Amino acid sequence: MKSYEDALGRDPVSDDALSGLMNAYLLQKQTDKAIAAANAQIAKTPASSAFYDLLGTVLFNNKHDLGAAEAALRKSCELDKNNTDALVKLGQVLAAKSSPDEAIGLYHQYLQEHPDVGFYVLSGELYEGKRDWNNAKQMYQKALDLTPDHPVAASHLASVLVESGGNLETALSLAQTARRAMPDFAPAADTLGRVYYQKGLYKPAIEAFQDALKLGGDDAAVHFHLALAYQKTGQPGLVRQHLEQVLKIDPNFGSAGEVKRLLAQLQ
C-alpha cells in the first residue's frame, strides 16, 4: 500500500496505482477504505473517467450499493464516452436494478456508432433474460456476422434456438463450434447437451451434461437437464439422484415444481 500511495503521490492520475491500492484494501476486506481511497483521488483529479470506473466497480461488486455504483459509472461514461469497461458495468448495474430495457438502450446507443461483438452478445444476454427470443437471436446473429466463429455468440444462439423451437441442425452446428472452441467452458457443454436432447440423442446428451458438471461444478440447471436425459434412457435411480440434487443446490430453482412432480412420479 505504501508503494501504491507513493506512486499516486508522484502521478496523481495513475489508475494503475489507484487500482493497486484499492485491491490491497479489498484483499484485507477493508472495502470502506478502498472506497475512501477512490474518493480521495477523485477529489484531486475529478476529470478521471478511470477513477470513477474503479469506484463504481467496488460499489457494485463489494458494497452492492447499486444507486451509488450507477452514479459513479454514469460519471465515468460522461467523462469518456469510449470507456467501454464503465459502459459494460453500467449496463450490468442497470440490469441488477431490474432495468434491462435501460441497459439494452445503453448498449444499443453505443452500437449505433461502434459495431462490436461484445456489446451484441451483452445485448443478446439481456434479451434472453427477458425471454425475448427474436431480439436475442438478432443480436447473436449480428455478432456472428462480424465474427463468424465467435464461440460465445454461437453457444448463446444455439441455446436460444433450443428454447424457441428453432432449427436444431443449425443449433447443433453452432453448439459444436462453441464446444470445440471452449472445451473448458461448462455452459458450452450444457448447451450442446440440450441440443442433443432435443434431437433425441440421449447418450451424447448425457455425456455432454456430465462434462458440464465436471467443468463447472454443481449446477442445478445441469443436474435437471441430466435427470431428464436419464429419464429418457430408463434409469430412475439416476433420475432421482439428480432431481434431489437440484433441490439441494437451489430450493427455489425455476423449475422446482416440475422437479417435485417428477420426484413424486418415482415414488
- For the chain, the domains span 1-90, 99-216, 218-267
1-90: CATH superfamily: Tetratricopeptide repeat domain (1.25.40.10)
99-216: CATH superfamily: Tetratricopeptide repeat domain (1.25.40.10)
The DSSP secondary-structure symbol of 102 reads H
Looking at residue 92, its pLDDT comes to 96
Find the DSSP H helices in the chain. Answer: 2-10, 15-27, 31-44, 49-58, 66-79, 84-96, 100-113, 117-129, 133-146, 151-163, 168-181, 186-198, 202-216, 220-232, 236-249, 256-265
- pLDDT one-digit tens code per residue, 77-133: 999 999 999 999 999 999 999 999 999 999 999 999 999 999 999 999 999 999 999
Residues 108 and 113: their CA atoms lie apart, in Å, by 9
- pLDDT one-digit tens code per residue, 189-198: 999 999 999 9
Residue 187 pLDDT exceeds 90: yes
CA distances 111 to 150, 158, 264, Å, are 18, 23, 49
Residue 262 pLDDT exceeds 90: yes
Looking at residue 267, its pLDDT comes to 75
Residues 67 and 50: their CA atoms lie apart, in Å, by 19
- pLDDT one-digit tens code per residue, 13-66: 999 999 999 999 999 999 999 999 999 999 999 999 999 999 999 999 998 999
Looking at residue 202, its pLDDT comes to 98
Task: Report the percent of the chain where pLDDT is more than 70.
Answer: 100
Contact 126, 95 (CB under 8 A): yes
Give the confidence band of 168 by pLDDT, cuts at 50, 70, 90: very high
Do the domains at 1-90 and 99-216 have one common CATH topology? yes
Which residues touch 34 (CB under 8 Å, ≥6 apart)?
21, 22, 23, 25, 26, 58, 62
Looking at residue 122, its pLDDT comes to 97
Residues 254 and 55: their CA atoms lie apart, in Å, by 34
Looking at residue 98, its pLDDT comes to 92
Looking at residue 50, its pLDDT comes to 97
Task: Report the percent of the chain where pLDDT is more than 90.
Answer: 99
